[in-house]
Amino acid sequence: MLSLKTGVFFVAAVAIGVRYFYTEKDLQVVRHVELLGEDVQIQGKFSVLHTNDMHSHAERYSKLSRIIRNERSLYDESVLLIDAGDWYRGTMFDTLAGSDRTDSVPELEYFSFNSYDAVLLGNHAFDLGETVLAGLLDKASRSDLNLVFLSANVQIGPKSELFKYYTQDILVQPDTDTEENSVIIAPAILKTVAGRRVGILGIEGPDSAICSSAHRSNVTFLGYDDSKSRIEQDSLVDYSNKLVQRLRDKGAELVVLVIHAGPPEDVVFASRINADVVVGGHTHETLFSQLVKGDKLVPVVQCGEYASHIGSLELVFDGSTQGFLVGDRSRERILRDGHSCIPVDMVQDEYPNMKQLVEHWMGQLSKTVPSAFQYDQVVFDQPVSADGVFTDDDTALSTAEKVSTGVLFTLNNWLGENDQRRADVFLTCPECVRQPIKSTGGKRFKLKFHQVYELVALSGVKPLSAFYIQKDDFLRLIDVVSLLGKYFSERFQLAFSSNLQYDQNPWGIPFVNRVSNLTINGVEFENLPQLIKVALPQYIAAYFWQTKTLTAGLLDSPARGPNGGFITLDKAVIHSSPPEYELLAQYLAHISKNS
């Protein structure tokens, strides 16, 4: 049980510690650029093309493939092509890679088709566990796809099914024959581009490691201690700098750090790791900045989400300073747009061969996404109104609350009145709602089935989880989550179904009177049963069994069985329940039909 004194101390310590760790007050970052002057002696140029957080949005792969070919032609093939992670999980297409009913791996086929030089894993590669991720790589290997995954700080144990793809050696091309291992996970790679030797180092940021911690067993990341739930920045920085020096010793004139991290992590690590360019991801932003490090500027870039953009950072070699500068082609775009990202939808011409592949994958979805609905079928169609389900003012939190309400309604209807598996409350997280819902021209909300899936894509095709929580623990859970969401990270927010109501006093004392007047289905807290049944996606449920680690031993897992005893994660699955996307689609179709 968490005492008042201990709870306040814990939340305060976490808040202060994290803010101190990520402070940028001592860093000088500039976002303004000017065109290069006449004194710059350009002796060669190339482009760093980069994507991040594509989350299985294969519908844009054919346009991306066209842009990549256009850029390669423009730079006479002098291009580096990099992905900064989280390429997996987000649309129906991700069900193909993890299924044994098809050999397709759309995300990895796309990378191989376009000859990416390096790809980061990202936290969502682990969403379904190491076994599923290893299965993806096995499929890619059997299909002779050539893929270089970079992760300098990943530590893969010999018991992991990923171990066979793991090396701690720097790949040196063309000396390293990657044909023998068509799929490999390595710390860094050294390549020649436009006659210059360029090193690429990949790392997963600590926040990324936190986000995958519940779904890993034999994989850890230097820089984040899973067992203590503690960020260890120094060890990651020291090791990364040793690798940077090894790359320079092998002839690298430029080192690109690819990190699955966004603000402020990207700039903090850019300030401490001796790289020349930083390509980020994880936070789904379009951004450009330059970190002042002595007498040089280090570009820090990231390009959006869901394959909506691809970055093109032009670099030129200045003979007068013997260093690399951002070229005018990128500077012009930064001056105009604030970043160096190319919007994918500005290209109308799709690359035919990739378009055919996408159509092939779409035809296979019926094997992996069981449903009464079709991919493009309109499930929800409702005019914009004050009493409608959605509004254009909905936030991620309010949308997640509406999703929770709909899923609980349909789940309990599906179970029936007397089924003991019925839930009292449904919860999810705002970040688990992957796509914003916006009306068309402010007139109607219209959702197709694949868009409903994308709303709750992190649940995938898995059934839901459910367990009991003692009502006093449930009250503390709400309090702890609200405090951590405010002071630590919005990732700790939870969204509850609307049948749960409570008041929150911002001036109240945590764990005493900050949360009050809690009711479920109108029943006051004092009259609720001692055990409250909570249903939730399996993706979130896994973190409840990490409660003790995440709170440094201050809280135990609150998950219990019907008799009040603690249970294991595998005992919390509603094995026969429809997946979350199907329950939500049925709810929205019902509302749309009766509106």
The per-residue pLDDT for 417 is: 86
> Considering the domain boundaries, does residue 393 fall inside one?
yes
Same domain? For 412 and 538 the reply is yes
- Domain final residue pick, 355, 380, 408: 355
Tokens of 235: 């060890």
Same domain? For 137 and 196 the reply is yes
Same domain? For 199 and 340 the reply is yes
Same domain? For 344 and 415 the reply is no
Neighbours of 471 (CB within 10 A): 18
3-class DSSP assignment, residue 481? helix
The per-residue pLDDT for 15 is: 40
Backbone angles phi, psi at 38, to 5 degrees: -70, -15
> Considering the domain boundaries, does residue 300 fall inside one?
yes
- Domain final residue pick, 332, 355, 378: 355
> Considering the domain boundaries, does residue 207 fall inside one?
yes
What lies within 8 Å, CB to CB, of 120 at 6+ separation is 83, 84, 85, 149, 150, 151, 202, 204, 258, 259, 260, 281
Would you say 188 and 98 are in contact if contact means Cβ atoms under 8 Å apart? no
Alpha helices in 75-219 (DSSP H): 94-97, 106-113, 130-142, 206-212
> Considering the domain boundaries, does residue 5 fall inside one?
no
Same domain? For 389 and 508 the reply is yes
Q: How far, rounded to the nearest angstrom, does the alpha carbon of residue 117 sit from its chain's CA centroid?
A: 21
The per-residue pLDDT for 2 is: 38
CA-to-CA distance for 222 and 230, rounded, in angstroms?
A: 11
Same domain? For 324 and 404 the reply is no
The count of structural domains within the chain is: 2
Nearest to 587 by CA among 375, 385, 390: 390
CA-to-CA distance for 22 and 260, rounded, in angstroms?
A: 15
> Considering the domain boundaries, does residue 382 fall inside one?
yes
The per-residue pLDDT for 12 is: 39
Element (H, E) at 309: strand 309-318
Q: Which domain holds residue 259?
A: 26-31+41-355
> Considering the domain boundaries, does residue 222 fall inside one?
yes
Nearest to 311 by CA among 290, 348, 285: 285
pLDDT tens for the chain, 595 residues: list them.
333 333 433 443 444 344 334 455 578 999 999 999 999 999 999 999 999 999 999 999 999 999 999 999 999 999 999 999 999 999 999 999 999 999 999 999 999 999 999 999 999 999 999 999 999 999 999 999 999 999 999 999 999 999 999 999 999 987 555 455 689 999 999 999 999 999 999 999 999 999 999 999 999 999 999 988 899 999 999 999 999 999 999 999 999 999 999 999 999 999 999 999 999 999 999 999 999 998 899 999 999 999 999 999 999 999 999 999 999 999 999 999 999 999 999 999 999 999 999 999 999 999 999 898 999 999 999 999 878 899 999 988 999 999 999 999 999 999 988 888 899 999 999 888 887 788 888 899 999 999 999 999 999 998 999 999 999 999 988 888 877 766 666 667 899 999 999 998 877 777 777 889 999 999 999 999 999 999 999 999 999 998 887 777 767 889 999 999 999 999 999 878 899 999 999 999 999 988 7
Q: Which residues of 286-317 are buried (b: 16+ CB within 10 A; e: fewer)?
A: bbbbbbebeeebbbbbbbbbbbbbbbbbbbbb
Same domain? For 217 and 312 the reply is yes
Tokens of 262: 């966004």
- Domain final residue pick, 294, 326, 355: 355
Alpha helices in 416-487 (DSSP H): 449-455, 471-487
Q: Which residues of 582-595 are buried (b: 16+ CB within 10 A; e: fewer)?
A: bbbbbbbbbbbeee
Same domain? For 45 and 163 the reply is yes
Same domain? For 349 and 493 the reply is no
CATH number of the domain enclosing 226? 3.60.21.10
CATH number of the domain enclosing 502? 3.90.780.10
CA-to-CA distance for 181 and 165, rounded, in angstroms?
A: 8
Would you say 532 and 424 are in contact if contact means Cβ atoms under 8 Å apart? yes
0.85 cut: is pTM over it? yes
What lies within 8 Å, CB to CB, of 67 at 6+ separation is 310, 342, 344, 347
Same domain? For 336 and 441 the reply is no
CA-to-CA distance for 448 and 371, rounded, in angstroms?
A: 13
> Considering the domain boundaries, does residue 20 fall inside one?
no
Backbone angles phi, psi at 221, to 5 degrees: -130, 125
Same domain? For 391 and 339 the reply is no
Same domain? For 380 and 296 the reply is no
Would you say 342 and 305 are in contact if contact means Cβ atoms under 8 Å apart? no
The per-residue pLDDT for 491 is: 66
> Considering the domain boundaries, does residue 323 fall inside one?
yes
